[in-house]
Structure 1
Amino acid sequence: MRFMMIVKASKDSEEGTMPKEQMEQMFACMKKYNEELKKAGVLVAVGGLHPSSNGIRISFPVPGERPVVTDGPFTEVKELIAGYWFIDVKSREEAIEWAMRAPDPHGLGEGQIELRQVFE
């Protein structure tokens, strides 16, 4: 079973305002966690995303009409994604266990990971 662990964005991840020492500590924790996923053989892919200020949104407002292109930034930070892991595990429960072992993605006690199963 494949799952996407979606790291929700925060105000800091969108602004890139995390202090350097905190950023280094967070990356060290993430690197260690990623190595654990690799060693267990469950990591398919991992990545961090640029802020939405570099993003592009394509909207399909009316069937048959040309899609609308909107450049970022996008205002609803709580709806944005800052990064992800794709994992391949044996069960939903195992996916939850791995997600709960992840370090706080923002290192500030405000991180959030959404776990979604991928259609196979």
Structure 2
Amino acid sequence: MSKYLLIMRGTDESNAAMMADIDEMMATTRLFIEDAVKAGVLLAAEGLDDPGQGVVVDFSGETPVVTDGPYGETKELFGGFFMLDVASKQEAIEWAKRVPVARGSKIEVRRVPGDDEVPQTND
């Protein structure tokens, strides 16, 4: 089994569409979560707060600079994630296809490397 992160990426338009019918979206999302729990693959699921409530810590210069809001010039924003433990990348993709999102959204599928794949320098 491998862990995969399904990252929900939306645009201003797709986020607005989801919010327009938030009750139906939440009900559909609950059903997706229930299915993933029943299948024994869901490790975690969280939504993120409005991007305008966040900050960006930029390490481009000598000292970190903190600015309000999301990244500048962005077209897509992370809206939340599902962490799955599945047998393959293809299985993760199949689950990603089932995530309830508004038209224009995307789901990024990323494998989480295991501890044995990350260089260990601390005993």
TM (norm. structure 2) is 0.81
**Residue of structure 2 equivalent to 1:86:** 83
Q: Deviations over 1:50-76 (max 9, x none)?
A: 1110011111114xx221111114444
**Residue of structure 1 equivalent to 2:68:** 71
Structure 1 ranges of 4+ moved more than 3 A: 12-17, 73-77
What's the offset of the Cα at 1:15?
6.2
Q: Aligned pair in 2 of structure 1 residues 73, 37: CA closer, same or farther (>3 Å)? A: same
Structure 2 unaligned residues grouped into runs of 5+: 115-123
Q: State the distance in 1 between where 2:96 and 2:87 align.
A: 14
TM (norm. structure 1) is 0.83
Q: State the distance in 1 between where 2:18 and 2:94 align.
A: 30
* Secondary structure, aligned partner of 2:83: strand
Are residues 1:35 and 2:34 paired? yes
Are residues 1:117 and 2:111 paired? yes
Pairwise CA RMSD of aligned residues? 2.1
* Secondary structure, aligned partner of 1:116: strand
Give the number of the structure whose residues are more often strand, by fraction: 2
Q: State the distance in 2 between where 1:59 and 1:119 align.
A: 25
Q: State the distance in 1 between where 2:18 and 2:96 align.
A: 25
* Secondary structure, aligned partner of 1:110: coil
* Secondary structure, aligned partner of 2:31: helix
What's the offset of the Cα at 1:102?
1.7
Q: State the distance in 1 between where 2:64 and 2:28 align.
A: 40
How many positions carry a matched residue from both structures? 113
* Secondary structure, aligned partner of 2:19: coil
Q: Aligned pair in 2 of structure 1 residues 17, 91: CA closer, same or farther (>3 Å)? A: closer
**Residue of structure 2 equivalent to 1:6:** 7
